[in-house]
Amino acid sequence: MQMTLTNFEGFVEAKIVERGYDYYRRGRIAKVEQVDEGEFSAIAFGSDDYEVYVKLDGERIVEYECDCPYDWGNTCKHAVAVFYQIRYGNFTGNSSDKFNSILKEIPNKDLRKFVINLLKRDRNFRRKFLREFDENFEDDEDDEFEEDYY
């Protein structure tokens, strides 16, 4: 059986479902943005702020990740809270057209300059960039920052 927006409770530890639902109800998830068809990005407010990404294929949850330290091989409450928010339709319209039309207008030179500035200042972006484009990249992060896909 595959995990979907309507049955995910059966795939997640009961106490995490409960905590995630509580998180959702208390509005601890900042507005969920639909960044492309079926793809969502959100911030979860906790002792720290965590980034949550969810990818759907129709109702099916095909991929998700949260950058919180909860990495015992199980879904975290932040992801659960975002599932609820998506299930109940609390998300923005699709931003991908906006992204594309802005990107189309940016001169290459300006885009490169922007990326270089981010590479210098934003450690998370730098790691993602190197993981994607540097064939010698070795992730030396401790487990805390490991991304979970499942």
Q: By C-beta, is 78 or 85 nearer to Zn ion? A: 78
Q: By C-beta, is 34 or 78 nearer to Zn ion? A: 78
Buried b (16+ CB within 10 A) or exposed e, 84-103: bbbeeeebeeeeeeeeeeee
The contact mask relative to Zn ion for 2-41 (x = CB under 5 A, - = no) is ----------------------------------------
The contact mask relative to Zn ion for 35-54 (x = CB under 5 A, - = no) is ---------------x----
> Are the beta carbons of 61 and 8 closer than 8 angstroms?
yes
Buried b (16+ CB within 10 A) or exposed e, 18-36: ebbbebbeeebbeebebbe
The contact mask relative to Zn ion for 67-96 (x = CB under 5 A, - = no) is -x-------x-x------------------
